[in-house]
Amino acid sequence: MPAKNVILSRERIKVARIDVVGGGLAGAEAAWQIASRGEKVRLFEMRPGKNTPAHKTEFFGELVCSNSLGSEKVSTGGGLLKLELKKLNSMLLEVALENRVPAGNALAVDREKFPREVTRRLEKHPLVEICREEVKNIPGDTITILASGPLTSEPLAKSLQDLTGQESLYFFDAAAPLVYSDTINMEKAFKGSRYEETGGDYINCPMNEQEYREFYSELVKAEVSPLHGFEDNKLFAGCMPVENLAQKGFKTLAFGHLKPVGLKDREGNRPYAVVQLRRDNKEGTLYNMVGFQTRLKWPEQKRVFRMVPGLENAEFARYGVMHRNSFINSPKSLEPTLQLKARPNVFCAGQLIGVEGYLESALTGLWAGINAFLLSRGENLLVPPGQTAIGSLIDYITTPAKNFQPINMNFGLLPQPKKRIKKKEERREEQVRIAGETLERFIEDFKVINK
């Protein structure tokens, strides 16, 4: 009898190959996991022949929003994700570590070098065939992983909608502006990390109360770009535009993205508020305005953001943008193996299934790749244990819910320790320990996971 955390495939599927649709983080990781286990795979990507509103290049694994992959502290969801990706031999995590840029306790990567290296590795792998063409329909005669992302093309989205019988869900996502570092006034700005834990990885633009009031006043009344053709503006909290946050109240930003906690200006005083900029590439020529996702009109971005001390002459390499992201109703459409209930030869992964975040996408792509490989060999498919990050994420997105919405990895998804632990830090340490030991045992039991 198979172990209880193994699900048998519904039917034996005879296929000549495995196809992965989408060259984002989930698709790139899935293709790599399949090829690394000795199976041929075709990786389809419609760029550059057909682009999306957010992508700028033809590279696999392009980062369209922030260049940060989240905290490395194990007491955070991002830190736990990195631990599991490392145990599961993630190619994307390896490339990220090779191309990291200073970002305090976070793992941030060079926006250009990271996807270039991901692309180079996939193109040189002898078992990966790159197909630069749009997939408009879900194939019925191959094992397929749909990792086409939140900007899935309309024909493929329609094919998926017809197959699942569910209306497509969506929310709106926003990206922050990029600033040329040599246009930042360092006579007003200063380098430093909160509490100086890791040195001066950030550029900080301090505001006194009057400067903050003037900035806030202009921000909340600045013109925003319309969302053409959409009646319901569903905003994902993790990428809430800065102007929407400001509308919640005068102190919302000062207690949020602009909080001055742990920072002191040149005179040794704590500012009223601080705009932080994080390095976006290794050369340090580009900096990302942390937390400044926006849909302000571009002239308004230039006018309002230049009110920040130190950015009065800033030049923007990219203004903030906003786009619609789509995801399927996974609780109704997916098995815990990430197979479509309506067609078990098709897997889904990444933001398309309602996980939000770079590493969440990569991890679900990795698992879909493992199961697609197992299905191609006629073997039992695997469901990761619920005590792990990957297991708790999959459990969340495949459990019936009244109002299913995209989610990042967080400790609320993990089971609580059996013994009661009052202190949050100690409770999280125990959850991390349990997750790590559980995943290691699972890998030991099923050797195919650790190729």
Q: What CATH number corresponds to the domain at position 18? A: 3.50.50.60
| pLDDT above 50 (res 4) | no
Q: Of 324, 354, 380, which marks where a domain is finished?
A: 324
In this prediction, residues 24-53 reach a mean pLDDT of 92
Write the pLDDT tens digit of every residue in 52-63. 777 788 899 999
26 — pLDDT class (breaks 50, 70, 90): very high
Residue 228 has pLDDT above 70, yes or no: no
Q: Residue 92's Cα: distance from chain center in Å?
A: 12
- CA 436 – CA 433 distance, rounded (Å): 5
361 vs 2, residue with greater confidence: 361
219: pLDDT strictly greater than 60: yes
How far is the C-alpha of 359 from the C-alpha of 375, rounded, in Å? 24
The predicted pLDDT at position 235 comes to 62
**Which pLDDT band, with edges at 50, 70 and 90, does 24 fall under?**
very high
Q: Is pLDDT larger for residue 196 or for residue 74?
A: 74
Global pTM value: 0.76
Q: Using a pLDDT cut of 90, give the percent of the chain over it.
A: 58
Residue type, 246: A
**Burial profile 197-218: b = 16 or more Cβ within 10 angstroms, e = fewer:** eeeebbbbbbbeeebbeebbee
Contacts 24+ apart (CB under 8 A), 316-319: 316/177, 316/178, 316/179, 316/180, 317/178, 317/179, 317/180, 317/286, 318/175, 318/177, 318/178, 319/177
Q: What is the pLDDT of residue 208?
A: 95
Q: Assess whether 286 and 151 both reside in one domain.
A: no
**Tokens representing 55?**
């992508």
* Residues 298 and 372 placed together within one structural domain of the fold: no
Q: The dihedral of CA 242, 244, 245, 247: what is its sign?
A: positive
Q: What average pLDDT does the structure give for the chain?
A: 88
- Per-residue pLDDT for 230 more than 50? no
Q: What is the CATH number of the domain that holds 278?
A: 2.40.30.260
Number of other residues whose CB lies within 10 A of the CB of residue 195: 11
* pLDDT score for 120: 98
Whether 12 and 79 share a structural domain: yes
The pLDDT > 70 percentage for the chain reads 90
Question: Contact 275/204 with Cβ under 8 angstroms?
Answer: yes
Domain that holds residue 224: 175-324
- Average pLDDT on 108-137 reads 96
* Measured distance CA(239)–CA(245) in Å, rounded: 10
pLDDT digits (tens, 9 = 90+) for 248-263: 999 999 999 899 998 8
Instruction: Answer yes or no: do 79 and 182 share one domain.
Output: no
Q: Give the DSSP H/E element, type plus range, for residue 285.
A: none
**Given 271, 305, 324, which residue is the final one in a domain?**
324
Cα–Cα dist 289/293, whole Å: 8
Is residue 1 assigned to a domain? no
pLDDT at 451: 63
Structure tokens that stand for 287 in this block: 């900096």
351 part of a folded domain: yes
Assign 140 a pLDDT band (cuts: 50, 70, 90): confident
451 occurs within a structural domain: no
198 inside domain? yes
Angle formed at CA 135 by CA 134 and CA 136, multiple of 5 degrees: 105
426 occurs within a structural domain: yes
pLDDT for 9 beyond 60? no
pLDDT value of position 199: 59
| Same domain for 363 and 243 | no
Residue with more model confidence, 114 or 153? 114
Q: Are residues 314 and 343 both part of a single domain?
A: no
Rounded distance between C-alpha atoms, residue 392 and residue 415, angstroms: 8
More confident residue, 176 or 84: 84
How far is 366 from 29, CA to CA, in rounded Å? 5
Q: Are residues 262 and 339 in the same domain?
A: no
Residue 196: inside a domain: yes
Q: Does 318 share its domain with 386?
A: no
**Residues 151, 12 share a domain:** yes
Please give the tally of structural domains in the chain. 2
48 cis-preceded (ω within 30 degrees of 0):
yes
Domain end point (choices 273, 294, 324): 324
Same domain (yes/no): 94, 182 = no
pLDDT at residue 1 in the model:
32
Residues 265 and 281 both lie in one domain = yes
Pair 34, 106 in one domain: yes
Residue 15 pLDDT level (bands cut at 50, 70, 90): low
pLDDT of residue 3: 42
Residue 359 falls inside a structural domain: yes
**386 found inside a domain:** yes
- Residue-wise pLDDT for 333-380, tens only, equals 999 999 999 999 999 999 999 888 899 999 999 999 999 999 999 899
User: How confident is residue 231, by pLDDT bands cut at 50, 70 and 90?
Assistant: very low
